[in-house]
Amino acid sequence: MQAVGRAFGHNFTLEYGDVGGISIDRHGTPLTDGVRELATSADAVLFGAVGGPKWDDPSAPTRPEDGLLALRAHLNVFANIRPVKVYPELTDSSVLKPHVLEGVDMVVVRELTGGLYYAQPKGRTQTPQGIVGVDTMRYSESEIERVLRVGFELARGRRGKLTSVDKANVLETSRLWRATATRLADEYPDVELEHALVDACAMQIVLRPASYDVIVAENTFGDILTDEAAILAASMGLLPSASLSGVPEAGARTPGFYEPIHGTAPDIAGQGIANPCGSILSAAMMLRYSLGLTEEAAAVDRAVQTVLEQGYRTADIATAGDAATGTTQMGDLVANAIG
């Protein structure tokens, strides 16, 4: 953000808040009211990542992830936009064959504030038969409709294809999801709607990924499918996301929540080898969709592209024989390329 400010003559006001594990340690809760208010009053929120073995105790009253989920719900950012871009220079870094990756350009719209993650009842109870854990899948038609509309609108501005993902052969929420998609399709005659069962879609994403344009999916399905889709891009560390309360519009100045799709990667903590690009590209999405700065956003995207073209690779995308670039150096390279 500072490199963008220097290059384009902006002064960003950055304020910081603790969320997740650090907040549990310092304040006894993964999200304080203060940070909640800070996030509400900001033009946009750039989120790091939460979670770690220290807070993994299944009997703990709260977890770092609760802070993230509370923040997403509080900001009502129901549409999580996860573009999956394949850099041609990275096809060798993917475990998939290069010809499978040719022409891959998709966006996954993940429903973010409902479904299995949030619906009540939820919890653990002691019953005469023993302990029971409960999660509920629940969606109202309006929750489904608003996120599907984001998918239709995005598809309309791209290649005109929308894949609606569900498990309609088993789940009632999915049958409502599918019926809603079919109903809305009448309003978008320029968009080709396809329904896909989530299990089959999981297979097709690695089999013929180039056939997808926009995918829209329930919260949990979208979570799982995007980790899988990250394999197309070669690494989770590269994928950004934007969470919004409506259709993303380049140049808009509407609040949004921006985070990489990856977690905290505790297995490599402290080694200085994490890939910063997912976070950097999330900041680019923030510039584009919340701060009205499309040129600046493009400059950040280009900077990442340039650094990859120059052959710099963090450990996650390095191929045998490459000397891996560390997190800080990678960040500095991108920042310099912006200038």
Q: Active-site residue 161, yes or no? A: no
With H, G, I as helix, E, B as strand and everything else as coil, classify residue 263. coil
Show the binding pattern over residues 175-214: x = contacts Mn ion (CB under 5 A), - = does not.
Answer: ----------------------------------------
120 φ, ψ (degrees, to nearest 5): -100, 155
Query: Min. distance of Cβ 203 from ligand IPM in angstroms?
Result: 21
Figure out which of the listed residues 108, 261, 273, 291 binds ligand IPM, where binding follows CB under 6 A: 261
What is the distance between the alpha carbons of residues 324 and 320, in angstroms, rounded to a whole number? 10
Tell me how many degrees the CA angle 241-243-246 measures, rounded to the nearest 5.
Answer: 130
Answer yes or no: are the C-beta atoms of 304 and 335 closer than 8 Å: no
Which CB atom, from 187 or from 267, has the smaller least distance to ligand IPM? 267
- Look up residue 35 and give its DSSP letter: H
Q: Which does 52 bind (CB under 5 to 8 A by kind): ligand IPM, Mn ion, none?
A: none
Total number of residues binding ligand IPM (CB under 6 A)?
Answer: 7
> Between vectors from CA 243 to CA 241 and to CA 70, what angle results, nearest 5°?
115
Shortest distance in whole angstroms from residue 261 CB to ligand IPM: 5
Residue indicated by tokens 């854990």:
133
Interface pattern 63-102 for ligand IPM (x via CB under 6 A): --x--x----------------------------------
**Is residue 199 annotated as a catalytic residue, yes or no?**
yes
Restricting to residues 48-67, which ones interact with ligand IPM according to CB under 6 A? 50-51, 65
- Tokens representing 5? 């400010």
Q: Which of 5, 263, 292, 326 forms a contact with ligand IPM (CB under 6 A)?
A: 263
Whether 316 is a known active-site residue: answer no
Q: Of these residues, 66, 85, 87, 117, which one is catalytic?
A: 117
Which listed option, ligand IPM, Mn ion, none, makes contact with residue 160 (CB within 5 to 8 Å by class)? Answer: none
Cα(110)–Cα(81) distance, rounded to whole angstroms? 6
Looking at the Cβ atoms of 4 and 71, the one nearer to Mn ion is 71
Distance CA(116)–CA(311), nearest Å, equals 41
| Minimal CB distance residue for Mn ion | 223
Distance between CA 289 and CA 298 in Å, rounded?
12
Which amino acid type is present at position 249? Answer: E
177: its two tokens: 């999801």
Q: Provide the H-helix boundaries in 13-77.
A: 21-27, 33-41, 64-74
Which of 167, 212, 312, 316 is an active site residue? Answer: 167
Catalytic one among 166, 213, 223, 316?
Answer: 223
Backbone φ and ψ for 196, nearest 5 degrees, come out as -140, 140
Examine the residue annotation and report whether 188 is marked as an active-site residue of this protein.
no
Least Cα distance to 262 among 301, 302, 233 occurs for 233
Q: Is 213 among the catalytic positions?
A: no
User: In terms of CB distance, is 65 or 228 closer to ligand IPM?
Assistant: 65
Q: 195-228 burial by CB neighbour count: b if 16+ within 10 A, else e?
A: bbbbeebbeebeeebeebbbbbbbbbbbbbbbeb
Choose one: 61-69, 216-224, 247-255, 327-335; the region binding Mn ion (CB under 5 A).
216-224
Residue with Cβ nearer Mn ion (222 or 256)? 222
Interaction of residue 223 with Mn ion, rule CB under 5 A: yes
Q: How far is the CB of 176 from ligand IPM (least distance, A)?
A: 22
**Residues marked as catalytic:** 117, 167, 199, 223, 227
Q: Enumerate binding residues for Mn ion (CB under 5 A).
A: 223
Q: Enumerate binding residues for ligand IPM (CB under 6 A).
A: 50-51, 65, 68, 223, 261, 263
